[in-house]
Structure 1
Amino acid sequence: MIRTLLKEVKEYKKASIATPLFMLLEVLMETLIPFLMASIIDDGVNAGDIGHIYRVGGFMVAAAAVGLFAGMAGGRYGAKASAGFAKNLRESMFNHIQTFSFANIDKFSTAGLVTRLTTDVTNLQNAYQMILRMFTRAPASMICAMVMAFNINARLSSIYLAAVIILGVILFFIIRHATGFFQQAFPKYDELNASVQENVSAVRVVKAYVREEQETSKFQRASQNIYNIFVKAECNVIVNAPLMMFTVYTCIILISWLGAKMIVSSALTTGELMSLLAYCMNILMSLMMLSMVFVMISMSMASIRRISEVLHETSDLDNPAEPVYEVKDGSITFRHVDFAYKKDSAEPVLKDINLEIRSGETIGIIGGTGSAKTSLVNLVSRLYDVTDGEVLVGGRNVKEYDMESLRNQVSVVLQNNVLFSGSILENLRWGDPDAADEECEAACRLACANEFIQRFPDGYHTHIEQGGSNVSGGQKQRLCIARALLKKPKILILDDSTSAVDTATDGKIRRAFREEIPDTTKLIIAQRISSVQDADRIIVMEEGRIDGFGTHEELLAQNEIYREVYESQTQGGGDFDEPSGEASEEKARERSGEALDEKGRIERKRGEA
């Protein structure tokens, strides 16, 4: 886990090595200064040697200057190394997430991934800087000061040793207890980010239903949870500071008292006592810094595990050793395909699917909500892998293709249309970055988008807000269709992508597809039978199975589900989620009753006239 993270240091290795070296140099200079100070007092002031005071004083100034330079250089390189480490870590996580299949992404929430890329990486950045600087400086300072103190007077210095052992044991239990709270805190950030994301993305719904107070309460609860956990953790950690200061002052009193007696008995000089007091502060302050490093590391352990989960997650979709880069044609074959989103699912979403679709065919796909229409087409572009059976495109199993090559030839307009902030042209060129303006306009004409784009003051340079919030649902759908067409795919999949388009425009789009791209295989998922009735063949899905497959006329004659829905829709309403049989008859009776009531009202008005 740690080794995986350290790989992200990369080009900042030199800065990472230079930081602790400068910290060691700073420690050596700090350790030298009290020793020189003792020499000034004992050999200079007490002996009345002004020359010795000047010489040793000059050495002290030089040592202080070198220590200052080393401290500044260590801080600079430490900041560079930690910030660079965090930058590389974010980039690696983001790039790794791009390789995830839909199945991998389903394991993480959006809010959880955002927290890992922000809060968790920041925790690691701070911990890494503390390790490079304080984790080197504190032990080195404590060891050097201890050696110098024992060199001066081993008897008095044993006080430091006892204090360090006692404090070390106490700090171990404090940190161990606080770590549990910190591990609970960071997952709570996921809940907080989820609350913010949900509220901001659905702000129109929140305001439409006047739910601001409820959303505020939800956010406050998530924020309060983080507050409560951090208060408990900090209440444990905060004991560290007063305990440390109590120990420091106790050591100073003991050394002053015992040292004064030793001076009187000539067993210790005044300069040596001053050095011991200085080393006392060095030793105990180093221990305090070391304790804060351990606290920071304990806080970051939860973040390390969460980040490692992302970096160690491997995509369940891999390119074969010798991938096929050329898709021969747009033919599609399903052979005894079963599919489940989770391997341990009790029942598959798709069950024993067998299909033969010829290249260039237009295939309609209809069925009720939850009948697995989208799951079926997701297997064509290998957004998911089948659980059992095989899917063939162009006569080859989709697992044999290079995934990028396959997806470039299978263009999908998803059910949830997404546009990105930028101009219309920039959004269209997601389909083909090198597309000329004329090609973009041709694709928009096919998708019936050119008409409304020309009405914009800036035309194709009109700015699209994030998520396409400044265009209507139908306009967004048509832009997404045009974007997909720019890829010039062999297979085009429209996943209910004209639901917000009026019937006349829907007909124009289908007619343009039939006339302009006859060689492209088109899979059209729809709820309206009018959107697919002129397709070459139509698939009727029911609970993950193919209930019918044929032309419009064949299904009307042979498929009960298709016929009932067709009749209900042509009579003025109904779709695949509408109950059939008695419910349809009841609706027909209601409509007949309404018509008779209206006829009676008209006749009464005529009589009154």
Structure 2
Amino acid sequence: MLVRVLRTHLRPYAGNLLLVVVLQLVGTIASLYLPTLNADIIDNGVAKGDTGYIMGTGGWMLGVSVLQIACTITAVYFGAKTAALFGRDVRAAVFHRVGEFSAREVNQFGAPTLISRSTNDVQQIQMLVVMTTTMLVAAPITMIGGIIMAVRQDVGLSWLVVVAVPLLAGCVGFIASRMVPQFRKMQKNIDGVNRVLREQISGIRVVRAFVREPHEVERFGEANANLTDTAIRAGRLMALVFPTVMLILNVSSVAVLWFGASRIEDGKMEVGALTAFLSYLIQILFSVMMGVFVMIMVPRASVCADRISEVLDTESSVRPPVTPIKSFTGRGQLVFERASFKYPGAAEPVLRDISFVASPGQTTAIIGSTGAGKTTLLSLVPRLIDATEGRVLVDGIDVRDIDPEALWERIGLVPQRPYLFSGSVASNLRYGNPDATDEELWEALEIAQGKDFVEAMPDGLNSPIAQGGTNVSGGQRQRLAIARALVRKPEIYLFDDSFSALDLATDARLRAALRPVTRDACMVVVAQRVSTIIDADQIVVIEDGAIVGKGSHQELLDTCPTYVEIVESQRSAEEAA
């Protein structure tokens, strides 16, 4: 998975990568040439007292050093830039894929893990790309070139290289292999911390209302402790890497000096060659260390790549049509033909054999007990989910054959949980229509009974709205969400229990204001209160996912026991109040 993610998203930057490789190659060759020049100065300049040779060769060393520095800086710049662009592309790919998911896929993954996969997981792979372009490219070149240059200096000491390099690679590789399961566990623990933190922030009012702060502190402490313990175990293993490297490096350096001194004493080696050999050995071991250091990051990046690929490879259950219908005529007639919906693996369907017609110019109400399937039924229209059996038609065309953009342009949805985005009142209302004027926004607010409280805000339409609309009340959120749908001026209005947070007087005024605006539109209202839908042209009663009654208020009182039970229960509650 890691290779596939890298190959797919690094392909556009192949030119940058090639440039990095060339620069690293030139810079590495330059660095390998420096110890040889230094050895020449010692053996041919210092030993003979030839100042001119020292100055000339030193000038060459200075030029080679400048070349190495320039190549390294440029390579690191392009490598870091490529990694940043790679991270941007992967995050965009994950974001767009999640944007295509239906509610089923979002619930399957969960918001916390989708967030961590889009941020932390991408960052881990991006770091691997940075380290690869800046270190791993140079490591094999340095190691191979260093071995060749070391053997050129003295064949007799080359056995030290043969011993030290495999020993270092084996020790560090063993430690790295033990870190893989810890990194895999760490990513899951990060998801756990994100999940608990998100729940606590979103549900802070509930936590405080039930005085559950100590319990939530304990929950977060447990999740945080699990992540900490895993990170400590991985950190302990990582902490062994550098002492191991330095131990082998220092022992190898001592061995070079020990055996090299004997060869110099025997006249088989010069002092400059010994210093050059020692420099090459250090370069070789450091290149091995750099390579292994990057390889340590591979397991964690591989885990992250698996998680990212899982998102990218997941196809939405709501698929766009092969040959979409982008334009069609009609006024927004909505037809359900034996529509059913069943979650994969579920024993029973959520909806069964739903058939009714919602016509333009009429209000169709849907009522039923909690969990009857009302929201699921409404979700079939804008294709938040797709019917597993039967069809949903808009103006005689199956919604699965309509271009999604063309379908959504005809629909104004007010969800059961009205969500507002961080920004201002105006920016939230213009989600319905980006080109809406201020006059149109005020008109929609007046119909939605929200004009008074928006005018009372310090900056009116420019007043700030916090993420999720947490700085306004539940009723104000609902009215702003209704105004957002009204600004769109669609042909089909879908109100999913959108009046539940309103008092009866505001509810009545809002419904009265809606009538002239939605006179020619198809309006479908999901409601819990009978008073909200008593004047509807058609009321559909749902129980356990099936239609048990259909007609006007009076007709249902005469023919539908379930509706009568709902009406009587609400009357009893009002009388008791």
Q: TM exceeds 0.5?
A: yes
1:253 and 1:405 mapped to 2: Cα distance?
76
Change in Cα spacing, 1:360 to 1:5, as seen in structure 2 (3 Å) is farther
Q: Which residue matches 2:364?
A: 363
Q: Which residue matches 1:418?
A: 419
Q: Which residue matches 1:461?
A: 462
Amino acid at match of 1:114: I
The TM-score normalised by the length of structure 2 is 0.96
2:538 and 2:460 mapped to 1: Cα distance?
38
Q: Which residue matches 1:581?
A: none
Partner of residue 336 from structure 2, selected from 325, 328, 334: 334
Amino acid at match of 1:334: F
2:236 and 2:469 mapped to 1: Cα distance?
47
Farther off after superposition, 315-324 or 286-295? 315-324
Amino acid at match of 2:290: M
Identical columns (%): 36
1:10 and 1:470 mapped to 2: Cα distance?
45
Q: Which residue matches 1:400?
A: 401
Do the aligned partners of 2:172 and 2:244 also contact (CA within 8 Å) in 1? no
Farther off after superposition, 10-19 or 305-314? 10-19
Q: Which residue matches 2:386?
A: 385
1:567 and 1:516 mapped to 2: Cα distance?
32
Offset, 1:13: 4.2
SS at match of 2:488: coil
Do the aligned partners of 2:339 and 2:355 also contact (CA within 8 Å) in 1? yes
SS at match of 2:322: coil
2:175 and 2:244 mapped to 1: Cα distance?
11
Offset, 1:354: 1.7
1:240 and 1:507 mapped to 2: Cα distance?
72
List aligned pairs for 1:207-606, cutoff 5 A: 207-327=208-328, 328-340=330-342, 342-573=343-574
Amino acid at match of 1:404: E
SS at match of 2:500: coil
Offset, 1:26: 2.0
2:517 and 2:50 mapped to 1: Cα distance?
103
Q: CA RMSD in A?
A: 1.8
Amino acid at match of 2:511: R
SS at match of 1:385: coil
Offset, 1:332: 1.7
List aligned pairs for 1:24-43, cutoff 5 A: 24-43=25-44
1:472 and 1:209 mapped to 2: Cα distance?
20
Offset, 1:82: 1.6
Do the aligned partners of 2:34 and 2:61 also contact (CA within 8 Å) in 1? yes
1:516 and 1:323 mapped to 2: Cα distance?
30
Is there any run of 5+ residues in structure 1 with no aligned partner, and where? 574-587, 595-609
| Aligned length, in residue pairs | 575
SS at match of 2:108: coil
2:211 and 2:349 mapped to 1: Cα distance?
40
SS at match of 1:313: coil
Which digits, 9 at most, give the CA deviation of each residue in 1:320-361, with x for residues without a partner?
A: 232112352222222222201x32222110011122222222
1:47 has 2:48 as partner: yes
Amino acid at match of 1:332: L
SS at match of 1:67: helix
1:474 and 1:241 mapped to 2: Cα distance?
60
Amino acid at match of 1:422: G
Offset, 1:15: 3.5
SS at match of 2:211: coil
Do the aligned partners of 1:192 and 1:219 also contact (CA within 8 Å) in 2? yes
SS at match of 1:431: coil
Amino acid at match of 1:335: E
SS at match of 1:338: strand
The TM-score normalised by the length of structure 1 is 0.91
Amino acid at match of 2:441: C
Amino acid at match of 1:330: G
1:170 and 1:396 mapped to 2: Cα distance?
67
List aligned pairs for 1:128-167, cutoff 5 A: 128-167=129-168
Amino acid at match of 1:462: S
Do the aligned partners of 1:185 and 1:229 also contact (CA within 8 Å) in 2? yes
Do the aligned partners of 2:168 and 2:285 also contact (CA within 8 Å) in 1? no
2:319 and 2:238 mapped to 1: Cα distance?
46
Amino acid at match of 2:283: N
1:165 and 1:344 mapped to 2: Cα distance?
52
Change in Cα spacing, 1:5 to 1:104, as seen in structure 2 (3 Å) is farther
2:18 and 2:207 mapped to 1: Cα distance?
52
2:264 and 2:459 mapped to 1: Cα distance?
90
1:163 and 1:232 mapped to 2: Cα distance?
28
SS at match of 2:540: strand
Q: Which residue matches 1:62?
A: 63
SS at match of 1:180: helix
Offset, 1:452: 2.9
Is there any run of 5+ residues in structure 2 with no aligned partner, and where? none
